[in-house]
Amino acid sequence: MFIIVQCWYNILEQNKKECSTDQSIKTLEEMMAETMKDAGVTITITSLTDIFAFGIGGITILPGLRHFSITCAIGIAAYEDTSERENGKCFEFSFGNKLIRAFSRTIMHRTFQVIVIIISLILFSFGVWGAFSIRQEFDIKKFMPSSSYFVQWFEIKEKHSVSKGWQSNIYLGRIDPPLDIPKLNSVDEFLQDLLDSKDYIITKEVWWTDFKLYILRDKNVSHWRSTLFKNDSFLFRVHLSDFLYSSIGAQYKVNFRFDTPLRCNQPAPNINAMELSIDFKKFSSLQDHVKARKTIDNAIKAANFSTVSFSHSKIYSIWETEEIIDKLIKKYTIACVNIVLSIGLCVDYSIHIAHFFLCASGDAAERAASSVESIGIAIINGGTTTFMALILLIFSESHIFITFFKAKSKGLTGE
């Protein structure tokens, strides 16, 4: 619209000059033909890019952006119809042409061109850095306005409640005591090192730790060694049964599944399954809990048990979802925003300048200045209205729009 109107005004000014020099005055049909000849090519190309950009915005997985694109399209059409019905004008005069003429002369200076190139390279560098440094986090409070009762309830709950962290269990299948007891001991020692460092876990409830203390205290063993039951699985089952019926070990009965019911004063049956419990600390970022889980899984894998072994927690489902989102966020969110910006704005405006540059006469500097002077006002009007549609949403507390502007700023400036 702005391009067609600007071309019309350019031809109208030319027609007035021809009238003052007693040349033939163009008719309305001729002026419209000249207008569409100048604007038609770029309008056709940019219409295709606008449709593509609108399609990206209309089918994106971001619901806020999808609804925003459709709502803006309807709103612009309604506003334009209202303006035409009222036949109103904002100003009776135009001072934009004087500014554009001064700008077109300034931009031709070598110093100004160097400054523009440097600024463009800086913004491009920050944009690349920002796109690669974006990180994904999940906090349910961020999906609600900060002033809502829901968020306030969570803040008070976190302030006054004591959280142990995220519980996780390590499961082992049907173990072979001579082979797997030394491996179980190495895993227990590894978990103890993690607990001492306080990097990933804050508590552990591993029956093996108390079992070793029980052997040293009640079974007349002066020094613990991992090969104690290497050649005597029967002795291990006797001590395990006594341990599970002792005051220190009774709490761990629920951590075992045996072939047959466990009986007091009888060797423990073969173990079908067992579990070890740990509590992860509360992590502040996706990268932390990914490292924590991989650390535990790698330790279990390195132990190389003779049976099935793995870790599991209810929180893993959320962590897995976050990992998937983290892998796709750059592919979809950043790509969607940048495609809309590049095709809907950058390509749109640059095509108009390029077309007028090709149609202008003179040397390169004259053609560039003429292009900016002829179509600059229309491009400024289009860019201004585009950002006016977004400026009020900056103050929104909605997580969807906050995410949109964060992704936009990451893609443009890296901030």
Listed as own residue / partner, the contacts of 202-205 with beta carbons closer than 8 Å and 24 or more positions apart are 202/164, 202/165, 202/279, 202/280, 202/281, 203/164, 203/165, 203/278, 203/279, 204/276, 204/277, 204/278, 204/279, 205/276, 205/277, 205/278
Q: What percent of the chain has pLDDT over 90?
A: 5
- Residue scoring higher pLDDT (78 or 54): 78
With 50 as the cut, is the pLDDT of residue 158 above it? yes
pTM listed for this prediction: 0.52
Q: What are phi and psi of 138, to 5 degrees?
A: -125, 120
Residue 167 host element (H or E): strand 166-172
User: Which of 143-147, 266-270, 359-363 shows the highest mean pLDDT?
Assistant: 266-270
pLDDT band at 361 (very low <50, low <70, confident <90, very high): confident
Mean pLDDT of the chain: 76
pLDDT for res 256: 92
What is the per-residue pLDDT across 268-318, written as a single tens digit (0 to 9) for each? 898 899 999 888 888 777 778 888 888 999 999 998 888 899 998 888 888
Q: Quick check: 321 pLDDT over 70?
A: yes
Phi and psi angles of residue 5, each rounded to the nearest 5 degrees, phi first: -60, -40
Q: What is the SS3 assignment for 305-331?
A: CCCCEEEECCHHHHHHHHHHHHHHHHH
Residue 252 pLDDT > 70, yes or no? yes
Of 243 and 82, more confident: 243
User: What pLDDT band is residue 399 in, cutting at 50, 70 and 90?
Assistant: low
Which of residues 139 and 407 earns the better pLDDT score? 139
pLDDT at 87: 62
Cβ-based neighbour number of residue 159 at 10 Å: 7
pLDDT tens for 41-72 read: 666 766 666 666 666 666 666 665 666 666 76
State yes or no: pLDDT of 238 exceeds 80.
yes
CA–CA gap between residue 205 and residue 216 (Å, rounded): 19
**Stretch 178-182: mean pLDDT:** 83
Poorest-pLDDT segment among 74-88, 91-105, 233-247, 398-412:
398-412
Tell me: pLDDT of 335 over 50: yes
> Which of 346-350, 359-363, 386-390: highest mean pLDDT?
359-363
- Residue 414's pLDDT band, with cuts at 50, 70 and 90, is very low
Q: Is the pLDDT of residue 410 over 60?
A: no
Residue 396's pLDDT is: 67
pLDDT at residue 413, rounded to an integer: 45
* pLDDT of residue 118 exceeding 90: yes
Q: Do 327 and 319 form a contact (C-beta atoms < 8 A)?
A: no
